[in-house]
Structure 1
Amino acid sequence: MSRMMTLVPFLQAQNCSNLPGSWRHPSTMLDFTAPEYYQRIARTLEDGKIPLAFFDDRLALPDLYTGNHAEMMAGGVRAVKMDPSTILMAMGLATTHLGLGTTYSTTYYEPYHVARVFATMDLMLKGRVGWNIVTSLNSAEAANFGHDSHMEHDSRYDRADEFMDVVLGHWNTWEDDALILDKDGNRFADPAKVHRLDHVGKYFRSRGPFSVPRSPQGHPVLIQAGQSGRGQAFAARWAELVFVIYHNLEAGKQHYKTFKELVAANGRDPDQVHIAPACYVIVAESEDAAQAKKAIVEASARPVDALVLISEVLNYDFGSKGYDEAFSDEELAGFSWHGFRERVVQYSGKKNPTVRDFVEVSGRGTIKEHKVFCGTPKSVADQMEEWFTAPACDGFVLAATHMPGSYEDIVRLLVPELQRRGLAPKEYRGATLRENLGLPIPRAADWHAARRAVE
């Protein structure tokens, strides 16, 4: 089968897409507290044979700017944060093939809890679930979970590595054929094929046996978005789908090559790890119509959007500093998201960027944050195909400029053009998310064999 683009719509369980001004867009529907809002989107995406949609998440509102939530709440800058796993289930029960991923933090949850939640969702949706693994970002999240401060960046990833050992350990302790279900013989399951994990490590202790059998796809697909050096090392070890941010095609080609080499150095098959940069797609029947749509989107942004969101992801109040005042080395070192900081330093050309540099280089809060593909179906497909064949990626994370219109435009206009070129499937390839991403189904027996070899 020819190589297909992995298209992943970027969802949020909140009042806007990841573009904070999207709720102000004249075409955006605002019934985001109702299940029908998300189910409409889900059915649209399934009509387009989209393999996976995923939810980003934070465990706090972005209230660090100016030290309180007034600007964020008044401007609707991601001012609602519902639990995305619950919404994922509402979407999953309204569809039959669409894969659904959601974010859960390794910093503020326990491995057994995460393993159980995702294994159960994966059973209920018959093998269509993915887990977006994050280490969380800032002090607001820490405060919501009773902590005085957030863990240091690299320490969070060290803890997350062990977290993954425990989660995958539990998922694999049920062998694939452990269930017998023999009523007459009183044999529900084979005890020899359900194991205790008995994990004792630096950060976690977790005994088992695990309480959820395996799903049709073995276990959920693993998603990650780390772009710092430590984050990339984590993703190369664990992730099957990696979300990235590229400022241009040449940077994308270099990162793609380097990261695939890092995956191989971890003893994994690079072809089984999909890399997908975030982008905005603005597509219309003519170039003029596409540019008119883009102008409406750009007009929905407000200056405060960027400052609120940058304060959140860097764990620093950007309202406490002059707009053209440079950050000290000490301040830069304390920023939570190292990959974000490093991109601004690189593209500003400054060792000590200013607030203005962070706003203008990052494009945070505007469509400039990600690559924008704007035009007719043919011209947008041409641009995406150039990135895909370079190669700079295996697909794209599709951020929405407004809801549900962005997704409707993509399915109605762009997807048929990609299908015509053989870059997108005309039908789903299988019943599970792994099948539709072209990923192998992991076998518990292989995990046990590898564990015995290490021991």
Structure 2
Amino acid sequence: MSNTNRQLKLGAFFMIPGHHVAAWRYPDSSADKVLKFNFYKNLAQTAERGKFDMIFLADGYAVGKNSITGIGQTVTVRPEPFTLLSALSAVTERIGLAATVSTTYNEPFHVARKFASLDYLSEGRSGWNVVTSSTQAEALNFSSENHLLHDLRYERAAEFVEVVKKLWDSWEDDALVINKESGIFSDNDKIHEVNHQEKWFAVKGPLNIARPPQGHPVVIQAGSSESGKELAAQTAEVIFTAWQTLEEAQAFYKDVKGRLAKYGRSHDELKIMPGIFPIIGRTEEEADEKKALLEDLIPPAAGVGLLSSMIGVDLSKHPLDGPLPELPDVGQINGGKSRFQLLRDLAERENLTIRQLYQRIAGARGHKEIKGTPKQIADQLEEWFENDAADGFNIMPPYLPGGLEDFVDLVIPELQRRGLFREEYEGKTLRENLGLLRPVNQFSKVHG
């Protein structure tokens, strides 16, 4: 039992029909429903029944990313997140609705307006996972031959978030008057041009939607590189990250939390939530059987393609049962630097072949895999939570819907018995449930 009132936060990370690359072949997965709304509706309602803080949809702007190896043996279709989350807002009540939107191939005005709209539709439950696109394949879908360099992507992202927050604040909270008798719809003195003009963006404003119910939709960030950590400390309220060991997670936690003060932020203003890939069995033997079956179902080409896309190097011409080829230095990588380093370290530390490495990451994709009974799963979550490695976790079910149902029905009750997780939602908005303050409007401080 926890000896404090602090409780962990949980995200339900939906990758359909599951996080394992072979999930679509798993007997209990619903692979035929990857584009069916009722499937997502049922998943969202299951997560809400479990009192998850949020559901989270990742997104990208290319099929196959850096490698087309195994593309015909993997799930490469997904709904557009805003469309889907807007629909899910009508069939859920308390659970947060978060999605990835890249700063590399979007514009701040569009993103600010869309998330503000989702925040209104959901009555204050939206969250934005800020990412920079990491693959050359995405550049080729946006009329660009060359992918923007890593440090420049993060520089652009920092300014992008700054502009979006200005646009959310361009209407003060009480700017809408809507007085039929006086004929006043809004108070002009409380609507502000942002007049942003810096290196990457020139945006006049104001936004053409009032300030969102949460003030700002919750800002999430997922990068763990040096640039990513600095951006998170400056702008993020939640970090999704990936670590294999308690010691690595503790070091990251201490590092990022230690950067907050220079931006005038407190320790509790940022929630760090590592990804967790749980294989749950009512017995250890059942969990082992699930893992073995998932590994047996991996088409080799799909495994190689996944690994190639994650490290940004085509491995299709190298022997499956041989080691990784000589890889470039992380400084030469223009994709996801932190994930590249994590996978290379894992392969070297455990002397893994290409086949063994793709088997290791085919489900967790570089995040922490935990396997066992509900009690054993809860033990490992509690260890990280109680030892300054995490404020919560982003849960990545191996297959759906069963992997999510097992977590809700078996693991969450165990966490609740230990006093580690809520039994009811604390508030109506995502910000309230995460324990995050509503931001002060930057223009009302100046003009109020």
Please identify, of 418-427 and 360-369, the stretch whose mean Cα deviation from structure 2 is larger.
360-369
Instruction: Mark the runs of 5 or more structure 1 residues left unpaired by the alignment.
Output: none
CA–CA distance in structure 1, aligned partners of residues 94 and 52 of structure 2: 9
Change (3 A) 1:420 1:330: closer
Report the equivalent of 1:54: 56
Please identify, of 275-284 and 133-142, the stretch whose mean Cα deviation from structure 2 is larger.
275-284
- Mapped pair 1:436 → 2:433: yes
Report the secondary structure of 1:429's partner residue. Answer: coil
Please identify, of 78-87 and 171-180, the stretch whose mean Cα deviation from structure 2 is larger.
78-87
Change (3 A) 1:289 1:341: closer
- Mapped pair 1:301 → 2:302: no
Report the equivalent of 2:326: 327
| One-letter amino acid of the structure 1 residue matched with residue 62 of structure 2 | A
The one of 305, 314, 318 aligned to 2:315: 318
- TM-score, with normalisation over the residues of structure 1? 0.91
Report the equivalent of 1:372: 369
Report the equivalent of 1:9: 12
The alpha-carbon deviation at position 220 of structure 1 amounts to 0.6
Change (3 A) 1:179 1:449: closer
Change (3 A) 1:70 1:378: closer
The alpha-carbon deviation at position 300 of structure 1 amounts to 2.8
- TM-score, with normalisation over the residues of structure 2? 0.92
| One-letter amino acid of the structure 1 residue matched with residue 326 of structure 2 | F
Report the secondary structure of 1:144's partner residue. Answer: coil
Report the equivalent of 1:25: 26
1:61–1:81 contact (8 Å) kept in structure 2: no
Change (3 A) 1:287 1:243: same
The alpha-carbon deviation at position 70 of structure 1 amounts to 6.4
CA–CA distance in structure 2, aligned partners of residues 306 and 191 of structure 1: 57
Structure 1 segment 78-117 matched on structure 2, within 5 A: 78-117=75-114
CA–CA distance in structure 2, aligned partners of residues 93 and 293 of structure 1: 34
Report the secondary structure of 1:166's partner residue. Answer: helix
Structure 1 segment 29-428 matched on structure 2, within 5 A: 29=30, 30-62=32-64, 64-65=66-67, 69=68, 71-73=70-72, 75-76=73-74, 78-319=75-316, 324=323, 326-327=325-326, 329=328, 333-349=332-348, 356=353, 360=357, 363-367=360-364, 369-428=366-425
| One-letter amino acid of the structure 1 residue matched with residue 64 of structure 2 | P
Change (3 A) 1:367 1:300: farther
2:61–2:141 contact (8 Å) kept in structure 1: yes
The alpha-carbon deviation at position 88 of structure 1 amounts to 1.3
| One-letter amino acid of the structure 2 residue matched with residue 45 of structure 1 | A
CA–CA distance in structure 2, aligned partners of residues 3 and 289 of structure 1: 32
Report the secondary structure of 1:441's partner residue. Answer: coil
Deviations 1:138-166 (A, max 9, x none): 11111111110110000000111111111
1:298–1:366 contact (8 Å) kept in structure 2: no
Report the secondary structure of 2:425's partner residue. Answer: coil
The alpha-carbon deviation at position 354 of structure 1 amounts to 11
| One-letter amino acid of the structure 1 residue matched with residue 410 of structure 2 | L
CA–CA distance in structure 2, aligned partners of residues 222 and 443 of structure 1: 15
2:303–2:358 contact (8 Å) kept in structure 1: no
Change (3 A) 1:206 1:368: closer
Report the equivalent of 2:443: 448
The alpha-carbon deviation at position 17 of structure 1 amounts to 2.8
What percentage of aligned pairs have identical amino acids?
A: 37
The alpha-carbon deviation at position 227 of structure 1 amounts to 0.8
Deviations 1:59-115 (A, max 9, x none): 0011533xxx46212x12x32133122111222211011101001110000010100
Change (3 A) 1:331 1:394: closer
1:9–1:53 contact (8 Å) kept in structure 2: yes
| One-letter amino acid of the structure 2 residue matched with residue 232 of structure 1 | K
Change (3 A) 1:361 1:254: farther
> What root-mean-square deviation, in Å, do the aligned CA atoms of Structure 1 and Structure 2 show?
2.4
| One-letter amino acid of the structure 2 residue matched with residue 427 of structure 1 | E
